[in-house]
Protein backbone atom coordinates (compact mmCIF):
# COMPACT_ATOMS: atom_id res chain seq x y z
CA UNK A 1 0.00 0.00 0.00
CA UNK A 2 1.37 3.40 -1.02
CA UNK A 3 0.92 6.07 1.66
CA UNK A 4 2.58 8.96 -0.11
CA UNK A 5 4.78 9.82 -3.07
CA UNK A 6 7.63 12.33 -3.03
CA UNK A 7 9.47 13.20 -6.21
CA UNK A 8 9.91 15.55 -9.15
CA UNK A 9 6.86 16.69 -11.12
CA UNK A 10 7.47 15.55 -14.69
CA UNK A 11 4.18 16.50 -16.33
CA UNK A 12 0.71 17.77 -15.45
CA UNK A 13 -2.60 17.25 -17.27
CA UNK A 14 -6.07 18.58 -16.49
CA UNK A 15 -6.70 15.75 -14.01
CA UNK A 16 -3.37 14.04 -13.25
CA UNK A 17 0.30 14.46 -12.48
CA UNK A 18 3.30 12.30 -13.36
CA UNK A 19 5.87 12.21 -10.57
CA UNK A 20 9.37 10.87 -11.08
CA UNK A 21 10.61 8.98 -8.01
CA UNK A 22 14.12 7.69 -8.53
CA UNK A 23 13.56 7.05 -12.20
CA UNK A 24 10.11 5.50 -11.78
CA UNK A 25 7.13 7.56 -12.95
CA UNK A 26 3.99 7.43 -10.82
CA UNK A 27 0.76 8.72 -12.37
CA UNK A 28 -1.65 10.12 -9.80
CA UNK A 29 -5.09 11.53 -10.52
CA UNK A 30 -5.77 14.74 -8.57
CA UNK A 31 -8.36 17.44 -8.01
CA UNK A 32 -7.95 20.87 -9.58
CA UNK A 33 -7.11 22.24 -6.15
CA UNK A 34 -4.19 19.88 -5.66
CA UNK A 35 -2.94 20.32 -9.24
CA UNK A 36 -2.99 24.10 -8.90
CA UNK A 37 -0.25 23.87 -6.27
CA UNK A 38 2.11 21.83 -8.46
CA UNK A 39 4.69 22.94 -11.00
CA UNK A 40 6.75 20.97 -13.49
CA UNK A 41 10.33 20.47 -12.31
CA UNK A 42 9.57 21.05 -8.65
CA UNK A 43 9.65 18.51 -5.85
CA UNK A 44 6.25 17.59 -4.46
CA UNK A 45 4.84 15.21 -1.90
CA UNK A 46 1.32 13.86 -2.28
CA UNK A 47 -0.73 11.72 0.03
CA UNK A 48 -1.97 8.71 -1.92
CA UNK A 49 -5.14 6.65 -1.96
CA UNK A 50 -4.93 3.47 -4.06
CA UNK A 51 -8.13 2.47 -5.83
CA UNK A 52 -8.14 -1.18 -6.95
CA UNK A 53 -10.56 -2.73 -9.44
CA UNK A 54 -10.47 -5.91 -11.45
CA UNK A 55 -9.28 -4.08 -14.55
CA UNK A 56 -6.97 -1.44 -13.08
CA UNK A 57 -5.08 0.02 -10.13
CA UNK A 58 -5.25 3.81 -9.97
CA UNK A 59 -3.44 6.18 -7.65
CA UNK A 60 -5.17 9.33 -6.43
CA UNK A 61 -3.04 12.10 -4.99
CA UNK A 62 -3.89 14.81 -2.49
CA UNK A 63 -1.96 17.78 -1.19
CA UNK A 64 -3.89 17.71 2.10
CA UNK A 65 -4.95 14.82 4.32
CA UNK A 66 -8.40 16.32 4.66
CA UNK A 67 -9.08 16.27 0.94
CA UNK A 68 -8.02 12.61 0.88
CA UNK A 69 -10.42 11.86 3.76
CA UNK A 70 -13.31 13.52 1.90
CA UNK A 71 -12.46 11.61 -1.27
CA UNK A 72 -12.59 8.35 0.66
CA UNK A 73 -16.03 9.25 2.04
CA UNK A 74 -17.38 10.42 -1.31
CA UNK A 75 -16.51 7.24 -3.19
CA UNK A 76 -18.38 5.30 -0.51
CA UNK A 77 -21.65 6.84 -1.69
CA UNK A 78 -23.55 4.81 -4.28
CA UNK A 79 -23.24 6.43 -7.68
CA UNK A 80 -20.05 8.33 -6.85
CA UNK A 81 -16.96 6.92 -8.50
CA UNK A 82 -13.41 8.26 -8.22
CA UNK A 83 -13.81 10.63 -11.19
CA UNK A 84 -17.01 12.09 -9.78
CA UNK A 85 -15.41 12.45 -6.34
CA UNK A 86 -12.51 14.38 -7.89
CA UNK A 87 -14.97 16.55 -9.80
CA UNK A 88 -16.77 17.39 -6.56
CA UNK A 89 -13.50 18.25 -4.82
CA UNK A 90 -12.37 20.27 -7.84
CA UNK A 91 -15.49 22.45 -7.58
CA UNK A 92 -15.98 22.55 -3.80
CA UNK A 93 -13.32 23.02 -1.16
CA UNK A 94 -13.52 20.63 1.83
CA UNK A 95 -15.09 23.29 4.05
CA UNK A 96 -17.71 24.01 1.38
CA UNK A 97 -18.62 20.32 1.23
CA UNK A 98 -18.83 20.25 5.03
CA UNK A 99 -20.93 23.42 5.12
CA UNK A 100 -23.37 22.12 2.51
CA UNK A 101 -23.78 18.86 4.44
CA UNK A 102 -24.22 20.66 7.76
CA UNK A 103 -27.02 22.73 6.24
CA UNK A 104 -28.40 19.75 4.28
CA UNK A 105 -28.01 21.95 1.22
CA UNK A 106 -28.11 20.03 -2.08
CA UNK A 107 -27.61 23.07 -4.32
CA UNK A 108 -23.77 23.16 -4.25
CA UNK A 109 -23.62 19.53 -5.34
CA UNK A 110 -26.24 19.98 -8.06
CA UNK A 111 -24.14 22.80 -9.53
CA UNK A 112 -21.52 20.20 -10.48
CA UNK A 113 -21.79 18.56 -13.89
CA UNK A 114 -23.06 15.00 -13.60
CA UNK A 115 -24.66 15.43 -10.18
CA UNK A 116 -28.42 15.36 -10.47
CA UNK A 117 -31.08 15.93 -7.78
CA UNK A 118 -31.18 12.26 -6.71
CA UNK A 119 -27.42 11.94 -6.31
CA UNK A 120 -27.20 15.30 -4.53
CA UNK A 121 -29.90 14.15 -2.10
CA UNK A 122 -28.06 10.85 -1.54
CA UNK A 123 -24.82 12.68 -0.82
CA UNK A 124 -26.48 14.85 1.81
CA UNK A 125 -28.38 11.95 3.36
CA UNK A 126 -25.43 9.59 3.60
CA UNK A 127 -22.67 12.03 4.50
CA UNK A 128 -24.28 14.62 6.76
CA UNK A 129 -23.27 12.60 9.84
CA UNK A 130 -19.89 11.49 8.48
CA UNK A 131 -17.71 14.60 8.44
CA UNK A 132 -14.15 13.23 8.51
CA UNK A 133 -11.80 13.96 11.34
CA UNK A 134 -8.17 14.75 10.59
CA UNK A 135 -5.84 14.53 13.57
CA UNK A 136 -8.75 15.04 15.92
CA UNK A 137 -10.09 18.17 14.25
CA UNK A 138 -13.27 18.09 12.19
CA UNK A 139 -12.83 19.33 8.65
CA UNK A 140 -15.35 22.11 9.10
CA UNK A 141 -13.60 23.41 12.20
CA UNK A 142 -10.18 23.12 10.61
CA UNK A 143 -11.05 24.94 7.38
CA UNK A 144 -12.94 27.81 8.90
CA UNK A 145 -11.03 28.26 12.16
CA UNK A 146 -13.92 27.46 14.46
CA UNK A 147 -13.13 28.20 18.10
CA UNK A 148 -14.67 25.70 20.47
CA UNK A 149 -17.30 27.15 22.77
CA UNK A 150 -16.55 30.73 21.73
CA UNK A 151 -18.78 31.24 18.71
CA UNK A 152 -21.86 29.71 17.11
CA UNK A 153 -19.76 27.75 14.61
CA UNK A 154 -19.40 28.00 10.83
CA UNK A 155 -22.65 26.16 9.97
CA UNK A 156 -24.70 28.72 11.91
CA UNK A 157 -22.65 31.61 10.54
CA UNK A 158 -23.05 30.32 7.00
CA UNK A 159 -26.82 30.00 7.35
CA UNK A 160 -27.15 33.41 8.95
CA UNK A 161 -25.02 35.02 6.24
CA UNK A 162 -27.08 33.46 3.44
CA UNK A 163 -30.28 34.62 5.14
CA UNK A 164 -28.92 38.15 5.57
CA UNK A 165 -28.00 38.39 1.89
CA UNK A 166 -31.42 37.13 0.85
CA UNK A 167 -33.01 39.78 3.06
CA UNK A 168 -31.00 42.33 1.10
CA UNK A 169 -32.74 41.16 -2.06
CA UNK A 170 -30.32 38.62 -3.53
CA UNK A 171 -31.62 35.31 -4.84
CA UNK A 172 -30.78 32.13 -2.95
CA UNK A 173 -28.20 30.82 -5.43
CA UNK A 174 -26.25 34.07 -5.51
CA UNK A 175 -26.45 34.40 -1.73
CA UNK A 176 -25.08 30.90 -1.18
CA UNK A 177 -22.21 31.41 -3.61
CA UNK A 178 -21.25 34.74 -2.04
CA UNK A 179 -21.53 33.35 1.50
CA UNK A 180 -19.30 30.36 0.75
CA UNK A 181 -16.77 32.60 -0.99
CA UNK A 182 -16.74 35.11 1.86
CA UNK A 183 -16.11 32.38 4.43
CA UNK A 184 -13.39 30.81 2.31
CA UNK A 185 -11.58 34.12 1.95
CA UNK A 186 -11.97 35.20 5.58
CA UNK A 187 -9.88 33.46 8.19
CA UNK A 188 -10.66 35.67 11.20
CA UNK A 189 -14.14 37.11 10.86
CA UNK A 190 -16.68 35.10 12.84
CA UNK A 191 -19.58 37.57 12.89
CA UNK A 192 -22.20 37.97 10.18
CA UNK A 193 -21.89 41.75 10.29
CA UNK A 194 -18.20 41.53 9.40
CA UNK A 195 -18.77 39.00 6.64
CA UNK A 196 -21.58 40.83 4.83
CA UNK A 197 -19.30 43.51 3.26
CA UNK A 198 -16.99 40.77 1.98
CA UNK A 199 -19.93 38.88 0.48
CA UNK A 200 -21.28 42.06 -1.10
CA UNK A 201 -17.98 42.57 -2.89
CA UNK A 202 -18.41 39.11 -4.40
CA UNK A 203 -21.90 40.09 -5.54
CA UNK A 204 -20.85 43.46 -6.93
CA UNK A 205 -21.16 43.71 -10.75
Query: Quick one: fold of 4-63?
Result: OB fold (Dihydrolipoamide Acetyltransferase, E2P) (2.40.50)
Which CATH number among 3.60.110.10, 1.10.150.20, 1.10.3210.10, 1.10.630.10 corresponds to the domain 65-144?
1.10.150.20
- Which residues of the chain have a pLDDT value below 50? 135-153
Q: Are 30 and 37 in contact (CB under 8 A)?
A: no
Rg (CA), the chain: 18
Q: What is the pLDDT of residues 99-143, one digit of tens each?
A: 888 788 899 999 999 999 999 999 999 998 776 655 443 444 444
**Which sequence spans correspond to the domains of the chain?**
4-63, 65-144, 145-205
pLDDT of residue 150: 40
Amino acid sequence: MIGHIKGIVESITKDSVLIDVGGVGYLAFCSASTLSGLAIGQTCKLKILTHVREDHIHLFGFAEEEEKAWFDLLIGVQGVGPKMALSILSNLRPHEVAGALALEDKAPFQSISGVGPKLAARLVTELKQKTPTVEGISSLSQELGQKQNTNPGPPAILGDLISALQNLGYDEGSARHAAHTALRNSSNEDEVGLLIPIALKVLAP
